[in-house]
C-alpha cells in the first residue's frame, strides 16, 4: 500500500493536487477550486481488493478520478475536487469492511480499532505499524464543506453487457449483513468414535451451508453466501470440534435481508440442537440498503446521455464505500460494464472504450455541477 500511495502521488502532484495520507491510510489528493469557500466534491473508490483478484475492482475508480483531473487540463472549477483512495473496503484482513470510508464519517471507533486479525494484530496496531497515528483519526472526518461524492466502479456483474451499454447510474446499493457463525462440538478420534456418538462440527456446518443456499434461492433478489470455512483442529484423522463460517446476506429491501438472517440463525440453532452441538454467531456488518442522491443521479444520467450512450439505472448487489459516506454527504455511483460479468477473479476485465466513456461522462458531470444552481446552493455560505 505504501508503494501504491507513492505511485498515485506521482500522478497527482504534477496536476496541481496536494496529497496526504490520513490516519486510516486513505489517500487524499486535493485539487483546489476557484472559490475561497473551500467547497469540496469527492471522487474516488478503494485501493484494496480480495486475494486472487483482478486488476480493476476499486482501484479503477481511483485511476479514473486522477484521469478527470488530468482532463481538466489545469482548469479550475468553482469547487475543489478531492481524489480519495480508500485503504480498506473489502475487510479481508480484519473481517470488517469499509474501515477506510468509516473513518470519513466518524465511525472508526474504539471497538473497531480493537478488532484483530487471525494473528491477533488489532486495527489500531496495524495503523501504527503502517507509520500512522490512530490519535489523529478524528482529523480525517469529512467536514461541512464536502457536499458530495461520486464513485466509479466496475459493475461486477453481467447486466450492462447483456444490455449492450457501457455505463449505468446506480439507483440503490443493496443492504448487506456479514456474520461469523461457529458450531462447537467435540473433537475425537476419527477411527474409534462411532458415527452415532459424534458431535461433528464440520458435519453440522455442511448441513447449515445447504440450508443457507436454500434460503437464498427461495426469495427473488436475495443472495446468501458462505464464503469461508475453518475447521479445528483441521486434520484428517480427528473429528472437527469447532467450525467457523462466514455468512454474507444481501437484498435491496432491508426487511427481506433481516428476515433471511433470522432464518439462517434459526437453522443453525436447530441443526446444532439436533446434532448435540452449540451454535454461536457474531455480527460483523449490518449495513442498511442505501438510495443514491436523486440530484446527483439525475446529473449522471444527463452526463451519460451527453456521451451518446443510453442512461440506465440499476441496483448494486455489491457493497461500496459510497453507502458508508451516504451517512454524511450526498453520494452517487457510476458503473462500468464488466465483460463476462466476472469480478473478484483474475479474469476481471474492462473495455478501453468504456473507460473513455466514463472519463467523458465524468468531465461532463463536473462541468454540469459547476453550472448547477442546485449544486451551488449546497456549497458553504450559499
Query: Would you state the pLDDT for residue 35?
Result: 78
Q: Which stretch of DSSP H or E encloses residue 316?
A: strand 313-316
Per DSSP, the three-state class of 113 is helix
Give residue for cell 434461492.
217
- Residue pair 23/137 in contact (Cβ under 8 Å)? The answer is yes
According to DSSP, residue 226 is labeled -
Q: What pLDDT, in 10s, does the model give residues 124-178?
A: 999 999 999 999 999 999 999 999 999 999 999 999 999 999 999 999 999 999 9
Question: CA dihedral in degrees (8, 12, 13, 17; nearest 10)?
Answer: -130
Q: How far is Cα 314 from Cα 299, in angstroms, rounded to an integer? A: 15
Query: Would you state the pLDDT for residue 191?
Result: 97
Q: How far is Cα 275 from Cα 278, in angstroms, rounded to an integer? A: 9
Please give the domain boundaries of the chain with CATH numbers for all domains: 2-174+289-378 (3.40.630.10), 175-287 (3.30.70.360)
Show the low-confidence residues of the chain (pLDDT under 70).
379-382
Per-residue buried b or exposed e for 57-90, using 16+ beta carbons within 10 Å of the residue's own CB: bbbbbbbbbbbbbeebeeeebbbbbbbbbbbbbb
Q: What pLDDT, in 10s, does the model give residues 260-290?
A: 999 999 999 999 999 999 999 999 889 899 9
Mean pLDDT of all residues in the chain? Answer: 95
Give residue for cell 466514463.
358
Query: Would you state the pLDDT for residue 380?
Result: 60
Half-sphere exposure for 150 (CA within 13 Å, toward CB): 28
Query: Would you state the pLDDT for residue 379?
Result: 67
- Residue pair 334/361 in contact (Cβ under 8 Å)? The answer is yes
- Is the pTM higher than 0.85? The answer reads no
Amino acid at each position: 500500500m505504501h508503494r501504491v500511495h507513492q505511485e498515485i502521488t506521482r500522478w497527482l502532484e504534477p496536476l496541481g493536487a496536494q496529497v496526504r495520507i490520513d490516519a486510516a491510510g486513505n489517500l487524499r489528493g486535493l485539487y483546489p477550486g476557484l472559490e475561497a469557500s473551500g467547497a469540496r466534491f469527492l471522487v474516488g473508490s478503494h485501493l484494496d481488493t480480495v486475494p486472487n483478484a483482478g486488476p480493476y475492482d476499486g482501484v479503477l475508480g481511483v485511476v479514473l478520478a486522477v484521469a478527470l483531473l488530468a482532463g481538466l487540463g489545469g482548469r479550475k472549477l468553482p469547487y475543489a475536487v478531492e481524489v480519495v483512495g480508500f485503504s480498506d473496503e473489502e475487510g479481508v484482513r480484519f473481517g470488517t469492511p469499509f474501515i477506510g470510508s468509516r473513518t470519513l464519517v466518524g465511525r472508526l471507533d474504539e471497538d473497531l480499532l480493537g478488532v484483530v486479525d487471525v494473528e491477533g494484530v488489532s486495527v489500531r496496531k496495524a495503523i501504527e505499524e503502517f507509520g500512522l497515528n490512530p490519535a489523529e483519526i478524528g482529523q480525517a472526518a469529512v467536514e461541512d464543506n464536502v457536499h458530495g461524492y461520486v464513485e466509479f466502479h466496475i459493475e461486477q456483474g453481467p447486466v450492462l453487457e447483456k444490455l449492450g451499454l457501457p455505463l449505468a447510474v446506480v439507483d440503490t446499493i443493496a443492504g448487506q449483513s456479514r456474520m461469523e457463525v461457529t458450531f462447537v462440538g467435540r473433537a475425537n478420534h476419527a477411527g474409534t468414535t462411532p458415527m452415532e456418538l459424534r458431535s461433528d462440527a464440520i458435519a453440522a456446518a455442511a448441513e447449515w451451508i445447504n440450508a443457507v443456499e436454500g434460503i437464498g434461492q427461495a426469495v427473488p433478489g436475495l443472495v446468501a453466501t458462505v464464503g469461508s470455512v475453518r475447521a479445528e483442529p483441521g486434520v484428517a484423522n480427528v473429528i472437527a470440534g469447532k467450525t467457523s463460517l462466514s455468512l454474507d446476506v444481501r437484498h435491496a429491501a432491508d426487511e427481506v435481508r433481516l428476515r433471511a438472517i433470522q432464518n439462517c440463525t434459526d437453522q443453525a440453532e436447530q441443526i446444532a440442537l439436533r446434532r448435540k452441538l452449540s451454535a454461536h454467531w457474531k455480527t460483523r456488518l449490518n449495513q442498511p440498503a442505501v438510495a443514491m442522491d436523486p440530484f446527483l443521479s439525475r446529473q449522471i444520467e444527463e452526463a451519460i446521455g451527453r456521451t451518446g450512450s443510453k442512461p440506465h439505472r440499476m441496483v448494486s448487489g455489491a457493497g461500496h464505500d459510497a453507502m458508508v459516506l451516504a451517512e454524511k454527504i450526498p453520494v452517487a455511483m457510476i458503473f462500468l460494464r464488466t465483460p463476462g460479468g466476472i469480478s473478484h477473479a483474475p479474469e476481471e476485465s474492462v473495455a478501453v472504450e468504456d473507460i473513455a466513456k466514463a472519463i467523458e461522462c465524468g468531465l461532463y458531470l463536473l462541468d454540469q455541477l459547476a453550472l448547477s444552481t442546485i449544486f451551488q446552493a449546497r456549497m458553504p455560505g450559499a
